Amino acid sequence: MKNIYFIGECMVELRAMSAATLHQSFAGDVYNSAVYLKRCFPQVTTSVVTALGQDNLSKKMLERFESEQINTQLVFAHDTKVPGMYYIETDEHGERSFIYWRNDSAAKKVVDFLDADALEQLSQGDMFFFSGISLAIIEESAREHFWKVVKQLKDAGVKIVFDPNYRARLWNSVEETKEQYHLAFTLADITLPGVEDLTTLYDVHSVEAVVEYLKPYQIEEIVVKNGPESVVTKEGDTLQSHTIIPVTNVVDTTSAGDAFNGVYLGARLSDKPISSAVQLAAKAAGAVIQQPGAIAPKDIFQLAMAE
């Protein structure tokens, strides 16, 4: 059985439904990817590595992970911290706005829980995934330990997977982000950048420019996403362009990239070639953006995937 670990943060989501009603759910990039991977590839053991609190919402979040068949062995409970939260509102023009309370979340402490036992377990994995958001939320004082863990996993033969998923507001400066991303690209075996994410950081404006930028790094597999435009992949020296069927009825693009990542990696762990993995991933992302919120209802999602 193949085995993948997603490290990062899942938050409490509060969505304004009307002036007096909030809908509460759970979301966060790595969690979203884990959910869609598991829904499409139930045979792949899919784990989220994070820290929650001891509170009732943390317990409900853990139950939600379990109801999505996600392995929670490395979901830790911090003594005093609680999960991060965000509020999302859509105005009459369809524009979304967010407010976040995540600066003091339990997930920021996740690296503190990565002891020898956790490392032993992570070393058994086939893939270890982190995103630019995972990197941004990890406390500065924990970074050294985090990179040591990533190096040890790579040495143990675990494939390191990185999605830059750049969120400017989570970083102190562009220089800090670039320094951390350089370490990530240096260790990554697979990377799944979106063009938009890298434009601000490296002044690259096309899939080709992204591939060119990543050339000096020894990354086995590069998958460049570009909204409804073709996905470009590079495996060794082989470049391939994969056409995406654009979705006309786009409701909410939240987690398009996350769904893509999860399903792509699930397909690769199930020995599918890159071209089929991209097609499945794009189909999943296309289904997700036709539903509001990060996590599409399971039945609707499964139906769309079966079409």
Task: Name which position in 4, 190, 282, 294 contacts ligand ADP (CB under 6 A).
Answer: 282
The answer to whether 227 contacts ligand ADP (rule: CB under 6 A) is yes
- Which residues have a Cβ under 8 Å from the Cβ of 179 and sit 6 or more positions away? none
Active site residues: 258
The answer to whether 244 contacts ligand ADP (rule: CB under 6 A) is yes
Give 159 or 225: the residue with its C-beta nearer to ligand ADP.
225
Please state, in angstroms and rounded to a whole number, the distance separating the CA atoms of residues 208 and 37.
27
| Residue 105 and residue 32 in contact, taking contact as beta carbons nearer than 8 Å | no
- With CA atoms as reference, report the closest residue to 242 among 288, 280, 215: 280
The answer to whether 25 contacts ligand ADP (rule: CB under 6 A) is no
Task: Name which position in 260, 265, 267, 280 contacts ligand ADP (CB under 6 A).
Answer: 260
Give the chain's end-to-end CA distance (angstroms, integer): 27
The answer to whether 132 contacts ligand ADP (rule: CB under 6 A) is no
Give 22 or 239: the residue with its C-beta nearer to ligand ADP.
239
Please state, in angstroms and rounded to a whole number, the distance separating the CA atoms of residues 81 and 68.
24
The answer to whether 211 contacts ligand ADP (rule: CB under 6 A) is no
Residues between 158 and 197 that touch ligand ADP (CB under 6 A) = 194, 196
- With CA atoms as reference, report the closest residue to 28 among 65, 74, 78: 65
Minimal distance in Å, beta carbon 199 to ligand ADP?
Answer: 11
DSSP per-residue letters across 41-95: -TTSEEEEEEEE-SSHHHHHHHHHHHHTT-B-TTEEE-SS----EEEEEE-TTS-
The answer to whether 292 contacts ligand ADP (rule: CB under 6 A) is no
Choose the stretch contacting ligand ADP; rule: CB under 6 A; options: 167-175, 200-208, 209-217, 219-227.
219-227
The answer to whether 223 contacts ligand ADP (rule: CB under 6 A) is no
Please state, in angstroms and rounded to a whole number, the distance separating the CA atoms of residues 303 and 64.
21
**Which residues lie near ligand ADP (CB under 6 A)?**
194, 196, 225-228, 231, 244, 246-247, 250, 253, 256-257, 260, 282, 285-286, 289
